[in-house]
Structure 1
Amino acid sequence: MAQFVIGVDIGGTNLVVGAMPTDGSREIGVHTLPTRAALGAEAVVQRIVEMIETTIATVQRETGATRAQFAGVGIGCPGPLDREQGIVIVTPNLGWTDYPLRAHIIERVGLPATLDNDANCATLGEWWLGAAKGGRHVVGITLGTGIGGGLILDGRLFHGASDAAGEIGHTTIEANGRRCGCGNYGCLEAYASGPAIASRAREALAGGEASVLRDLCEGDLAALTAATVYKASAQGDAIASDVVKETARFLGIGVANILNVYNPDVVVLAGGVAKAGDSLFVPLRAEVRRRAFKPAVEACRIVPGSLEGSAGMVGAVAAFLAEHPVA
């Protein structure tokens, strides 16, 4: 009798929930809704619970499964986290502090649950079924509202001494740089996350220069996003192209540091910003070649994720199965 696991990917912008059979053969009932973090933790959790129940109903309708065939729920959430206790210690992009997320999900859904960092989950997802499949030493970088990271070393997810490993977005690339949401200065996230890209584009437009960017957001610069910047760059807009090249340089510095420390065979970049294609990846790889040791560069593939919006959900399923193996 087939068993299923629910995967939950909690992001600062969107929630993604879906289900998979334990062999990972397909995704079922995957759907996305806005997080609406400003409404507070309880409202977001209630939204997640409703999405889980919707997914369970979809799986039951499509496969004839009973509720007893659901092994549990894997949850990916920005951290830092206390995985063993299932607590979100703090997450700047959601505004949660010391929140017992796993317990709330277990209580309301009535299924076992695991909690892991969202970027760890995205990395696991790409390693299990996506662009990093077959790698042994994998670094995943998630590019979205924030920048997260996950490390798979010798074929095992590495959490570190206090579950804080992989916070690549909070490595420093400018000693006295921009202030980050974490309170520090010069973090990679403050330069290359989606909101940071949009903010740098707005700054570049402050002098009133003509730009396709203004047309794409209909003159409302508050509506400008990273996706807008990449679209304008693809149309040849000079300001947008400069912002993209600068973003590639910042990311290249971060990735080169990773190569020199961990010597991975795959670096996979997932999330909205990673969808920019060659306009981002060509200069990014060039920057890495300039900065990282040649043997590390030659051993590593730097690739965009292939699971699009479901990497975190798929990885949350994988994280659950790692803690609760199903025969």
Structure 2
Amino acid sequence: MDNMRLHNESIYFQNLQFSQGKGGGFKSLDLIFFNNVKYEFLNIGFEIKTTGKDKIGQREVTIVPARANDTWKGSDVVDFNKYNPKDNLTNFFFMKYFLNISDADLLAHFINNANSVQIPKPIKKRESVVTVSTEELERERKRNESNLKLFINDINKVNKININSDEYEKSGKSLDDLCKEINKQMPDSDCGFSAYKTYIADNDEKRERVNLDIFYRSISSQSLDRLTDDFVLPRGDIEFDEKKLNLTFPKDLFFNTEQENKSELSFFINKIEHHLTYDFDKETYVLIVKIFPYSDSLSSDFKFISLYDDVLKGKNVTSEIFVNKNDFKNIEFLIYPDRLKINVVFKNREYNYDKIYALKKEIIFNKANSKK
């Protein structure tokens, strides 16, 4: 029987079975909680209470069958000791790998869009000694050249290589042949990099990221941020097969709406999802943990104080939010290096979509774990 820790108390597990494959894995195990022990979640007032009546020796315990799914697609290729989410070139090749794009397909996408807005970076203008404007020369060049010839001439100029564009137009050579020729003339690089340097790279890191985002949206219809979250960064979940773990809410943050009901607000935990993301605006990792209840297990309606953007008023508004227990969907924790934000997710019956409201109070991480 091995153990793990939740804050300052141990949780043991047994009967571990697992399978691991490319881009994910599965574990089946029994979690063992000691009864009458306080299991605090994040040390902010949330507490997991056990309800089982099992025994190990003379000690009363709660044994909870669980299934853990590791859905991290990048587990076999991403090294977090080296990975930098702001490294645009690394993300370019990661997305090529995860979207299963061959070298020839990558070149084909650049070539097919060499005359369109799908290629984000404008082609650098040629120098000219004639009086005609370089912009007009560029437009004329694009009208008269095929996409393939335009692409080859562009990568020649930017990468200082010399590939005969006429030869590829007339001979019917394949894009695999073109890739091999690029690699031959750029032995320390990659044929995909030649196109990246020509159409995406920029001295401004943020502009380069915008270019990269435009490029991958044209391939997958997803933003680069979304692709990074879905493929590169780790995520998973754990499901509990029985109603044995009860999550209680802190009374100073959530309020029971029934004055005569003095019991703690709580629900039985059905599933916990965890997902590491990267906030590019704040330039920091954010761990998102979502806890989902068993249906109809929330003890009562509740309310809390929220600070949110009021679109009609055009400003932030502080208001008391009421949640019907039948509409509650989950609670989520956004864990930053220095603080914690809490969101409550519940159904909007009138318009049939989910509402998400953040608690006004943020938990600031310091020695005292004070609340703001």
Larger radius of gyration: 2
TM-score by length of 1: 0.23
* Greater per-residue helix proportion: 1
TM-score by length of 2: 0.21
* Greater per-residue strand proportion: 2
